[in-house]
């Protein structure tokens, strides 16, 4: 029988392999965006360092502020992010714009 810890690690790895990384979004605003269109997380440009993204759902959830939810970002951690210019943080900066997906807030699975 697979332990809950191993099952969780396998789930995180499977999600990562599907090129899905994670971000925080103001729940009220992001849910409105989903009603209007497929929202995108902004990538780096000359005026913006790029949206903050996390490698795992677990880490994003651990650092999620009140009033925010975790959203999936259709991007690859190794190719589409770079260590943040912010010092001492657990997230990377997104290098290119990417579509967002809604997630189950308990499991991290796409809805």
The answer on pLDDT for 12 being more than 60 is: no
Residue with tokens 């009033």: 67
**How deeply is 38 buried, as exposed, middle or buried, from its count of CB atoms within 10 A (0-12, 13-18, 19+)?**
exposed
The answer on pLDDT for 105 being more than 70 is: yes
The pLDDT value recorded for residue 5 is 62
The pLDDT value recorded for residue 102 is 97
The pLDDT value recorded for residue 8 is 57
DSSP conformation class of 65: P
Average pLDDT value over all residues in the chain: 90
pTM of the predicted structure, to 2 decimals: 0.84
């Amino acid at each position: 029988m697979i332990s809950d810890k191993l099952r969780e690690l396998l789930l995180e790895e499977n999600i990562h392999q599907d090129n899905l990384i994670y971000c925080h979004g103001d729940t009220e605003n992001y849910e409105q965006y989903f009603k209007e269109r497929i929202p995108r997380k902004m990538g780096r440009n000359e005026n913006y360092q790029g949206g903050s993204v996390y490698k795992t759902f677990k880490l994003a959830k651990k650092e999620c502020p009140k009033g925010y939810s975790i959203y999936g970002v259709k991007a690859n951690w190794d190719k589409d992010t770079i260590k943040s210019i912010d010092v001492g943080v657990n997230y990377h900066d997104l290098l290119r714009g990417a579509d967002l997906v809604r997630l189950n807030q308990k499991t991290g699975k796409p809805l």
